[in-house]
């Protein structure tokens, strides 16, 4: 499972004001504001470019509820539905009529990524570096030495919404992923069954 995929699932939690902040101060405010957010709904666009110049663009909607639930619906032509509840992740591909069930607790690397994406303040405190402001957005680079597949990770944070509007990842093989978040809703009402996924009887399920 590509690590860039996980960034689609867990847009980082709310951030506080960053003007003239040190990394420690930014991490502390990330934690304070992040813990105040219970639910998020956001529109995402994921653009991926290969070394050969091939490009893939995906759009979708993400719903998140703390501490460990999310749902992501990706629109056609790359249609999929992903639901996470606790340690159990289910990824459904309607067109292919297949689904993948993943126990993320069995994959230490995957668990580390999920932890980072759910509660990024510790990684920001230990490995973050504030680069500056670009287009009105605060740019933060993350040291990737603990993430074997990635050469570079950068975040663009909206200082009015205190939410990342863009995440860029460059893999060591040269592929690049950029994820844009928009139409951000904080603590919106969510349907009671939004994190339930009832598969049709003819779907083939693979366990990972």
Chain segment 110-137, per-residue pLDDT in tens: 777 677 667 777 777 888 899 988 888 8
Contacts of 22 (CB under 8 A, 6+ apart): none
* Among 208, 195, 179, CA closest to 67: 195
Distance (Å) of CA 149 to CA 3, 24, 47, 204: 8, 26, 18, 30
Beta strand pairing call for 163-171 and 55-65: unpaired
Q: Binning pLDDT at 50, 70 and 90, where does residue 18 land?
A: very low
If DSSP codes are grouped into helix, strand and coil, which group holds residue 4? helix
Poorest-pLDDT segment among 58-67, 138-147, 174-183 = 138-147
Q: Is the pLDDT of residue 2 over 60?
A: no
Q: Binning pLDDT at 50, 70 and 90, where does residue 75 land?
A: very high
- Classify domain 3-80+119-199 at the CATH class level: mainly beta
- The CA distance from 79 to 84, in Å, is 17
Poorest-pLDDT segment among 15-24, 65-74, 187-196 = 15-24
């Amino acid at each position: 499972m590509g690590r860039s995929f996980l960034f689609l699932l867990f847009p980082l939690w709310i951030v506080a004001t960053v003007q003239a902040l040190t990394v420690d101060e930014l991490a502390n405010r990330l934690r304070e504001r992040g813990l105040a957010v219970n639910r998020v709904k956001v529109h995402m666009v994921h653009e991926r470019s290969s070394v050969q110049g091939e490009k893939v663009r995906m759009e979708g909607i993400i719903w998140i509820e703390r501490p460990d639930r999310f749902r992501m619906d990706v629109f056609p032509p790359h249609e999929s539905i992903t639901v996470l509840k606790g340690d159990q992740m289910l990824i459904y591909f309607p067109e292919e009529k297949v689904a993948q069930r993943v126990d993320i607790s069995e994959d230490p690397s995957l668990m580390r990524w999920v932890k980072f994406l759910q509660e990024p303040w510790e990684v920001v405190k230990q490995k973050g570096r504030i680069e500056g402001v670009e287009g009105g957005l605060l740019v933060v680079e993350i040291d990737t030495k603990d993430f074997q597949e990635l050469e570079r990770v950068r975040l663009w944070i909206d200082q009015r919404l205190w939410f990342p509007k863009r995440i860029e990842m460059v893999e060591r093989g040269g592929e690049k992923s950029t994820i844009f978040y928009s139409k951000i809703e904080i603590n919106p009402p969510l349907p009671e069954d939004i994190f339930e996924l009832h598969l049709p009887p003819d779907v083939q399920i693979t366990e990972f």
